[in-house]
Structure 1
């Protein structure tokens, strides 16, 4: 952040801390005595820097070790103008998002047009090393991973919940991330604008304390 933005260094630091504390723009504006326009401008700057960092991190190295994969769906419970009974999960009208979680390490997400085999397996090959142990659920899009080089492929069946944690065969990590992300976005009443920026922010925030977040964000803004 340069000095031509009109805020003192002290107020910029306060605004950064408000963002790290996950205050909404309205809350931060009220707390710091700033306009919503100013806060939104800085928040967008912060989120853009975070997204750039997360995207660079995803390109730099493939996920290794044990890697959980799963898809989730985001959007309003009932889109405007849609009537009748709606499907949940796969087949829903919501936006599908694919997630990759490297146990003990990183989580990455990708907004996808669908959850078909061709779409998801292309992302898997681009994000996960062939010597990794891949743990998906029983969705048919994950059929044939062994055929494309993933010999360490541990499958779970959600119809048999007792098998979730047997010998580490579970996707509790990525499901925990989805839960965190949906709870966090709920306080913004969902996100219809800049959804990808918010998604990347959730990747970055997950599992980190406020001091770590603040220090990292400062390095992104240099």
Structure 2
């Protein structure tokens, strides 16, 4: 007989077990460890973790456009080094474009390439034209004012290694660089992610970063109560 569960459509676990698992998920405990702590089957834990990550991805889409002071940057995720290949996106690395609103939130998006056309199209869909954009000197960011944005400041991280560019007049990309550091450090604990799993883990990381000062457990519990997690084929 299935348990009655307000948070999990057709779930076969009790609400108490679900809340216990959700608390561990909110604390960023891995699915393997959570299964041990709750006594739930490993496959059940993995399935619910996946549904929670999908819910985070849905919630992460709220809140556009970005306004005010906005930082942009691109980064690459994947193997630390591929023999015989160097430079941006070398080897099997996945390019990710990031937008951060200072004092607010971040948006990250996997891209096929970091061309000017690709990144400008994303900015037009995510950033208000009156925003002030700050970036490094990557050529793909040239021409943003001509593309309709009010102000665009550039920094050159490599101009003078003895001079801290991040301290001058607020022209820096500290925020988005901080997110890249957080994301790569967090993803390391999963010992590598398959290509088909990386997108959902990336959006989960974005949502956790954006809610780092909030109670993630309460946010997700409320969301699941209002709209129960659904994946009938799993139960």
TM-score by length of 1: 0.91
Aligned residue in 1 for 2:37: 31
Instruction: Give SS of 1:189's match.
Output: coil
Which runs of 5 or more residues in structure 1 are unaligned?
Answer: none
Whole-angstrom CA distance in 2 between matches of 1:73 and 1:150: 26
Name the SS of the counterpart of 2:13 in structure 1.
coil
Q: Residue 137 of structure 1 contacts residue 157 of structure 1 at CA under 8 Å; is this kept in 2?
A: yes
Distance 1:128 1:211, change over 3 A: closer
| Residue number in structure 1 paired with 2:46 | 40
d(CA) in 2 for partners of 1:145, 1:177: 23
Deviations 1:136-186 (A, max 9, x none): 100000001111112311110111353223111000100100100001010
CA 1:3–1:117 in 2, change beyond 3 Å: closer, same or farther?
A: closer
Aligned to 1:96: 95
Alpha-carbon displacement from aligned partner over 1:38-94 (angstroms, at most 9, x marks no partner): 100100110011101112x1xx53100000000010112356xxxx42214355541
Task: Say which SS state the counterpart of residue 215 (structure 2) adopts.
Answer: helix
Q: Say if 2:198 is the partner of 1:195.
A: yes
Point out 4+ residue stretches in structure 1 off by more than 6 angstroms.
none
Contact 1:20 1:210 in 2 (8 A): no
**Alignment gaps of 5+ in structure 2:** 1-6, 227-235
Give the alignment's TM-score, normalised by structure 2: 0.86
**1:3 and 1:147, CA in 2 relative to 1: closer, same or farther beyond 3 A?**
closer
Q: Is it true that 1:206 corresponds to 2:214 in the alignment? A: no
Q: Which moved more, 1:179-188 or 1:155-164?
A: 155-164
Shift of 1:125: 1.1
CA RMSD between the two structures: 1.8
By percentage of residues, which structure has more helix? 1
